[in-house]
Structure 1
Amino acid sequence: MPRFSVIVPAYKVQAYLHECLESVLSQSYPDLELIAVDDCSPDACGAIIDEFAVRDPRVRPVHLAENRGLGPARNAGMAEATGDYLLFLDSDDTLTPDALHAIADRLKETGDPDVLVYDYARTFWTGETIRNEAADRLSEDGPAPFRLADRPGLLRLLMVAWNKAYRREFVAEEGFAFPSGYYEDTPWTYPVLMTAESIATLDRVCVHYRQRRRGGILGTVSPRHFDIFEQYDRVFAYVGQNPELARWRPLLFRRMVDHLIVVFARRDRLPRRSRAAFLRKARTHYRRYHAPGVPVPARTRVHYALVRLGLHRTYHALQLTAALVRRTAKLANRLLKGLRSALLRLHYRLQRCLPVRADRAVFAAEGVRGHGCHPGALEQAFRTHVPGIRTAWIAEAEQHAAVPTGTRRLRPGTAAYWTALARSKYLVHNAELDRRLVKRPGQIVVQTRRGTPLKHMGLDLRERPAASGDTDFDELVDEVDKWDYVLSANRHSTLIWERVYPGGYTTLEYGSPRNDVFQQATSADVTRIRESLGIPEGAVVILYAPTHRDYRRTQRSPLDLHRVARRLGPRHVVLARAHHRHGGPLAATTDQVIDVTDHPSVESLCLASDALVTDYSAIMFDYANLDRPIVIHADDREAYEAARGTYFDVRSCPPGAVSRSEDELIDIFATGHWCGSRSAQLRSAFRTRFCPYDDGRAAERVVRHVVLGETGVPSVVPLGNRHPVPSPRASERRSHGRGVRV
């Protein structure tokens, strides 16, 4: 008897069926049966199902002699099911990686409840993925399992069958089945949730709900949308047969009316000539199932009144009026934005007529969440070594909390922002400044860049359309002409920057300011950071930080991090840090995998870890300063090289071990190769080449040269004399070693 029976009904979805079935069979939790029901589909669905059944014995094909619809097809699948739990998956949707493993773990934690509700995300044909807006109702806080009365908010979720796991014995005992027709999930989901003695939630996206551009059943204009009335008749009939459920009638009434309003308001559902008849029938159902004293939110009272009275023409007139109001508001908003923009341009021109302030400095950084990178380190150095200069940091309002209290906060596009750009002497950035900036005589622009370049940058991207996108290279060279100084961490960076960003600036080959903290931090700092991240004492922490893939429209992790963590054992913890252009987390947070994408400081994450796993990211050059193990995972080097290009093959001179597959990466850690002598030798050579100046005083050298005009900047501490803070694991090994010698 398998743990899960995954039921997939298929009808005219041949383009999506492969991906759907593969998402089930490739799950890391293999204890399942896949019951694929061919609902007499006229396309190749039946043949595809049979092909999968030949390939994998877990696939159980069911072929119906005639097309019966989604509900009866699911019933046919249930009749064949033998698993402990039933899961339904529409044939154009997919399970997310590790979904079944997460579901199995949560079921075990909550004592095998009757129903487990999990989350989903909508995936659009454009590549965009948006999580369910009501995900907060799936919080795992509080006691579990529970009954619906304890968390009635679950009835506010999308009423579908495929975002839940159902204990099969519970379904059989209660005799639940799907009806035919549209909206067949409605008379299934409400009775199931109301009847269940035990319910649990899983706050994790387990299903990707495909939003098809065309062809979705509910997005088709058809009189079959009138089926919704019969489906709600079934719901209220079930309540009538079970008097103990009468308490739910008011809430069910509100959900029904809300649902009817949605169907009526959508232009892609009801035929135009049937809209009046739909509203008349809605009026009948309103009066039939209305529960006296039901509270109606103020924002929906007009809609409810129109449904109650069946005023089709009035409803239509209000819709037209609302559309006109929205268009008028949009036009007014555009006019106001245009006026505001003109006033700000005038304000900026006037500010440029005033003297430049020698005691003002403005900093900004792209790709960081708040205050960080090289500009963040330089801003701190300004406050330390030239306290007479007032500093300001440019960031969006939601990032201001990460900015030090002694630093002025500026929001882009405000009058204060343009005043600062017009009158501050020092402008420090790690990418491109505002293209509308007019550099004035007396202003000094310090361009820090964002790390040692491995991938192609600047003018080298002219032959890389996948990476350059819509870059205007004429604008780029105009931007370079504004730079006075460019920071460089090493000779390699200097040679690259001066070629791909040709200009009249001065290169300061002084090291990387953001890496100063690696020489300045203490073991107490490391302990504090690990505690704040919830890392258990004695854990081996791996920081995984991949870079952006220019050849992919949507970004995804090339590694199954949960599988990696499980294979390495409970003592290992993975910190997953997505690139700032990734658009979301790399993996869901569990005991062994912690998503740290939104953590404000990548340097703190480096300090908290025992090893780094990356691919072509510049973080490897920074992390090498900690003298901790680095593993390069380069499983798509050819594709990355073709799209972006690199200045050298990192596999030929790596900072540590190199893996080319997930299993090879696991083996590197399982065997200890990641921290062996060969890895240490490679890291030493890498540090010699790329970390000659990162001794903890790079930011000070920059400030002394640029601001104080000193030519005799602090000398560099040789590599052999540097002592970066060790990781807890390294400290532990040293302690054990001293004990043995004694």
Structure 2
Amino acid sequence: MPLLSIVLPVYRVQAYLRECLDSILEQTFTDFEVIAVDDCSPDHSGAILDEYAARDSRVRVVHLEHNVGLGEARNAGLGHAFGRYVWFVDSDDWLAPGALAAIADRLRTAEPDVLVVDYAKVWWDTTTRHSKLSALVASANFPRTFTLAEQPRAIRIFHVAWNKVYNRDFLLKHDITYPTGLYEDVPVGYPVLMLADRISVLDRVCVYYRQRRRGAITSTPGRGHFQVLDQWDQLFERLDAIGERAAPFRNLVFERMLYQLLLVLENPERIARSDRKEFFRAIVRAYRRHVPAGGYQFPAGWEGVRHQVAARGSWTQWRALHNGLQLAGAAKPRLLELRNQVRLRTRLNMLYYRFQLRRPMDEQLAVYSAYWGKGYACNPRAVYERMTELAPGVRGVWEIKPGAKAEVPAGVETVTIGTRAHYRALARAKYLITNVNFHNWVAKRDGAIHLSTNHGTPAKAMGVDQLKFPAGLGDLDMDKLLRRSDRWTYSISPNAYTSEIWERAYPCNYETLETGYPRNDELVNATAADVAAARERLGLEPGQVAVAYLPTYRDYEFGRDALLNVESFADRLPAGTVLLVRVHHFDRSHVPADHPRILDVSDHPRVEDVYLAADMLITDYSSVMFDYAVLDRPIAIYAADWDKYRATRGAYLDVFTEGPGVATDDENELADMFVSGAVTGPAATSARALFRKRFCHLDDGHASERVVRRVFSDEALATAAAVVVPRQRVRQNADAII
């Protein structure tokens, strides 16, 4: 029998589940089991649990056939637990290092019925705030163990499940289980303190309580939040059943009820504006239903004022009070916002845009953009071309920077950025599609659909995750980035790995379309004629072996030795080999123009031509490795600044252990790999096969069709083929380099 059973209910937490599990399994204390309950989660959470259980015997997974909610999932986990103590941990939170050892020590020495542990709140922007437990402990001077009768101030301890470790026999003796619905902690958190003969408090942060920006159930407006009233009713019924032991605490519990109900009412992320009056009336009824028989003494200060308004039952007074505070708090930010808008665009243009927003939305207009209007490319291009086939009634228009129109094929309609036609199109279109983000000032109209196609599989830290690496953050305004991302209706993901990362890196309310990348359809469906045409467009001669070098952009200070010395490297390649060099579009690195074996393709409008033409690829941390792997051709990783890059910019993928082929940080060794044939050898081929299985299984040539049917026809997302069968006809003479 383990000392501790950690019950982990899991539902829609794929972005955070690995961090939670790792924080548990990497603890120095090991006498525990994890009962992970997959509450019929619709994302990849169940598969992640199975993956961990397969490699760690301490993890047992219970897959529920139907979604039952957090409370019932905890109950199901408790039914499978064998530990002397049980800890219900939320699967989007994580444990502090050393937490389990400290908890185990207290459990063994104090033998409590309930052990309360401390926590810290952590917001998406890495802001951290310690809980109020330490202040409560210091002011109350709690002994090592106590009862609630001895320390009534302990009733103010946060009533959630995850900050308490329970003696399993104590739970079974008192038949303590969690109810269904939201706010399931309410009917349990208070009674357990009243019933416990031995309470202990561990004044040490053991849990990091994640404050999600978007996606948490408690941060989603809806009628479900009315369930909090039912949970408080259940609590008072339990107090009646407990009887005399609960009687001294009814006033304190009543105060806690009003505090939480008013907090829920005032939170726009929980109660919609249209439901506020009804919810307030329900609070008034709860007040009258549960007010203590001897009367209720209002707390001091602002909290007491709020409670008095509820006691009077005056919706008019509450609305006046609440709206007055809102206006005072919102005035200054609104003035700043208006000032910034004037700075972004001329007042005349912005007024014109706002005017167009008031006109009817064009249900058949879609505005496309790639790389901030630089051209006709990437995932938006693939979606556009398939849209013209499958949704011909929709008119597609591309926003293009001044001077970039020449790169758009004839017949494709464009609007030049900054013109009246551009403002009008952005204001009136139902569909806005881009692989980056539209301008800050673009508004999302009711009923409009914004599609973020994205433009790569992330190897380096992105979005919110970049906040952990401030040295590489530069002048990125994260709040503005997330407000732009808040407009997304859909976000395209090429694989499960990326879906997990996007959900965490861009915590906004969008639907993930895990379809594969539309732009890769061209690679999957390419024929030998397509490859020959791409080589011709790049100026390659028949029989030449092409090695592409596509490094990523470094957004921090780095030495020139971080990049490949393309001249010396090209000199060491066998005769008949050409090095295609394409630097990142943010980079201004010099590429020699007169070397006979180097072809600068940085300005070539289509990277897909480079992929098709190249027999092999050299890259570092760029997402091009994921796209090129679709072709099943040799890939080499040259990562000379790996340690600095990982520490400064952050990385999700270890390119040396999880990469698609050979990898090195030494330029001479890289050249030797090409000369010796290691780049095409068995080890490299095996690594590439594993890489493709993990990242390319959705690339079946139909990704753009799946996206178009979901976005423009509102069809359910179709399932892609499980495995990509390599297309031998698109492979070039890769072995000729040996």
Question: Given the two structures, how large is their TM-score scaled by the length of structure 2?
Answer: 0.52
Amino acid of the structure 2 residue aligned with 1:716: A
Report what 2:581 is aligned to: 576
Given the alignment, which residue of 657, 660, 663 partners 1:652?
657
- Looking at structure 2, the residues matched to 556 and 422 of structure 1 have their Cα atoms a distance apart, in angstroms, of 47
Residues 416 and 732 (structure 1 numbering): CA distance in 2 closer, same or farther, change over 3 Å?
same
Given the alignment, which residue of 626, 633, 640 partners 1:628?
633
Report what 1:456 is aligned to: 461
- Pair 1:719 & 2:716 matched: no
Given the alignment, which residue of 404, 418, 422 partners 2:423?
418
1:394 counterpart SS class: strand
- Looking at structure 1, the residues matched to 587 and 536 of structure 2 have their Cα atoms a distance apart, in angstroms, of 27
Q: 1:374, CA displacement in angstroms?
A: 1.1
Q: Deviations over 1:380-402 (max 9, x none)?
A: 11112111111111222332122
Q: Is the CA contact 1:657–1:674 (under 8 Å) kept in the aligned structure 2?
A: yes
Report what 1:299 is aligned to: none
Report what 1:390 is aligned to: 395
Report what 1:320 is aligned to: none
Amino acid of the structure 2 residue aligned with 1:723: R
Q: Is the CA contact 1:577–1:585 (under 8 Å) kept in the aligned structure 2?
A: no
Residues 365 and 339 (structure 1 numbering): CA distance in 2 closer, same or farther, change over 3 Å?
closer
Report what 1:564 is aligned to: 569
Report what 1:240 is aligned to: none
Residues 556 and 443 (structure 1 numbering): CA distance in 2 closer, same or farther, change over 3 Å?
farther
Residues 415 and 726 (structure 1 numbering): CA distance in 2 closer, same or farther, change over 3 Å?
same
1:397 counterpart SS class: coil
Report what 1:197 is aligned to: none
Q: 5 Å matches for 1:530-545?
A: 530-545=535-550
- Looking at structure 2, the residues matched to 568 and 598 of structure 1 have their Cα atoms a distance apart, in angstroms, of 24
Amino acid of the structure 2 residue aligned with 1:638: D
- Looking at structure 1, the residues matched to 632 and 714 of structure 2 have their Cα atoms a distance apart, in angstroms, of 33
- Looking at structure 1, the residues matched to 432 and 391 of structure 2 have their Cα atoms a distance apart, in angstroms, of 15
Q: Is the CA contact 2:373–2:399 (under 8 Å) kept in the aligned structure 1?
A: no
Report what 1:502 is aligned to: 507
2:403 counterpart SS class: helix
- Pair 1:728 & 2:728 matched: no
- Looking at structure 2, the residues matched to 685 and 476 of structure 1 have their Cα atoms a distance apart, in angstroms, of 34
Q: Deviations over 1:230-260 (max 9, x none)?
A: xxxxxxxxxxxxxxxxxxxxxxxxxxxxxxx
- Looking at structure 2, the residues matched to 495 and 666 of structure 1 have their Cα atoms a distance apart, in angstroms, of 36
Q: Deviations over 1:178-232 (max 9, x none)?
A: xxxxxxxxxxxxxxxxxxxxxxxxxxxxxxxxxxxxxxxxxxxxxxxxxxxxxxx
Q: Is the CA contact 2:545–2:736 (under 8 Å) kept in the aligned structure 1?
A: no
- Looking at structure 2, the residues matched to 365 and 446 of structure 1 have their Cα atoms a distance apart, in angstroms, of 12
- Looking at structure 1, the residues matched to 510 and 582 of structure 2 have their Cα atoms a distance apart, in angstroms, of 34
Given the alignment, which residue of 352, 355, 375 partners 1:350?
355
Aligned length: 396
- Looking at structure 1, the residues matched to 728 and 627 of structure 2 have their Cα atoms a distance apart, in angstroms, of 12
Q: 1:717, CA displacement in angstroms?
A: 2.9
1:642 counterpart SS class: helix
Q: 5 Å matches for 1:191-340?
A: none
- Looking at structure 2, the residues matched to 621 and 636 of structure 1 have their Cα atoms a distance apart, in angstroms, of 20
Residues 372 and 555 (structure 1 numbering): CA distance in 2 closer, same or farther, change over 3 Å?
farther
Q: 1:724, CA displacement in angstroms?
A: 6.4
Q: Is the CA contact 1:519–1:725 (under 8 Å) kept in the aligned structure 2?
A: no
- Looking at structure 2, the residues matched to 367 and 657 of structure 1 have their Cα atoms a distance apart, in angstroms, of 34
Q: 1:728, CA displacement in angstroms?
A: 2.7
Given the alignment, which residue of 491, 503, 523 partners 1:518?
523
- Pair 1:619 & 2:621 matched: no
- Pair 1:708 & 2:735 matched: no
- Pair 1:637 & 2:642 matched: yes
Q: 1:589, CA displacement in angstroms?
A: 4.4
Q: 1:708, CA displacement in angstroms?
A: 0.7
Q: Is the CA contact 1:368–1:580 (under 8 Å) kept in the aligned structure 2?
A: no
- Looking at structure 1, the residues matched to 460 and 577 of structure 2 have their Cα atoms a distance apart, in angstroms, of 30
Report what 1:104 is aligned to: none
- Looking at structure 2, the residues matched to 652 and 557 of structure 1 have their Cα atoms a distance apart, in angstroms, of 19
1:543 counterpart SS class: strand
Q: Deviations over 1:319-360 (max 9, x none)?
A: xxxxxxxxxxxxxxxxxx989822211110111111111111
1:398 counterpart SS class: coil
Report what 1:605 is aligned to: 610
Amino acid of the structure 1 residue aligned with 2:641: D
Given the alignment, which residue of 379, 383, 387 partners 1:378?
383
- Pair 1:409 & 2:436 matched: no
1:378 counterpart SS class: helix
Q: 1:612, CA displacement in angstroms?
A: 0.5
- Looking at structure 2, the residues matched to 589 and 379 of structure 1 have their Cα atoms a distance apart, in angstroms, of 38
- Pair 1:485 & 2:490 matched: yes
2:383 counterpart SS class: helix
- Pair 1:594 & 2:599 matched: yes
- Looking at structure 2, the residues matched to 663 and 690 of structure 1 have their Cα atoms a distance apart, in angstroms, of 29
Q: Is the CA contact 2:706–2:717 (under 8 Å) kept in the aligned structure 1?
A: no
For the aligned residues, what is the CA RMSD?
2.2
Q: Is the CA contact 1:608–1:727 (under 8 Å) kept in the aligned structure 2?
A: no
Amino acid of the structure 1 residue aligned with 2:401: E
Report what 2:704 is aligned to: 699
Report what 2:688 is aligned to: 683
- Pair 1:360 & 2:361 matched: no
Report what 1:473 is aligned to: 478
- Looking at structure 1, the residues matched to 417 and 691 of structure 2 have their Cα atoms a distance apart, in angstroms, of 39
Q: Is the CA contact 2:664–2:670 (under 8 Å) kept in the aligned structure 1?
A: yes
- Looking at structure 2, the residues matched to 539 and 415 of structure 1 have their Cα atoms a distance apart, in angstroms, of 49
1:578 counterpart SS class: coil
Q: Is the CA contact 1:542–1:572 (under 8 Å) kept in the aligned structure 2?
A: yes
Report what 1:550 is aligned to: 555
Q: 1:720, CA displacement in angstroms?
A: 4.8
Question: Given the two structures, how large is their TM-score scaled by the length of structure 1?
Answer: 0.51
2:733 counterpart SS class: helix
Q: Is the CA contact 2:433–2:452 (under 8 Å) kept in the aligned structure 1?
A: yes
Q: 1:590, CA displacement in angstroms?
A: 2.8
Q: Is the CA contact 1:548–1:555 (under 8 Å) kept in the aligned structure 2?
A: no
Q: Deviations over 1:244-300 (max 9, x none)?
A: xxxxxxxxxxxxxxxxxxxxxxxxxxxxxxxxxxxxxxxxxxxxxxxxxxxxxxxxx
Amino acid of the structure 1 residue aligned with 2:650: G
Q: Is the CA contact 1:431–1:450 (under 8 Å) kept in the aligned structure 2?
A: yes
Residues 615 and 635 (structure 1 numbering): CA distance in 2 closer, same or farther, change over 3 Å?
same
- Looking at structure 2, the residues matched to 685 and 629 of structure 1 have their Cα atoms a distance apart, in angstroms, of 13
1:641 counterpart SS class: helix
Residues 339 and 520 (structure 1 numbering): CA distance in 2 closer, same or farther, change over 3 Å?
closer
Residues 696 and 394 (structure 1 numbering): CA distance in 2 closer, same or farther, change over 3 Å?
same
Residues 553 and 683 (structure 1 numbering): CA distance in 2 closer, same or farther, change over 3 Å?
closer
Q: Is the CA contact 1:370–1:395 (under 8 Å) kept in the aligned structure 2?
A: yes
Report what 1:672 is aligned to: 677
Q: Which is worse superposed, 683-692 or 403-412?
A: 403-412
Residues 638 and 531 (structure 1 numbering): CA distance in 2 closer, same or farther, change over 3 Å?
same
- Looking at structure 2, the residues matched to 623 and 550 of structure 1 have their Cα atoms a distance apart, in angstroms, of 23
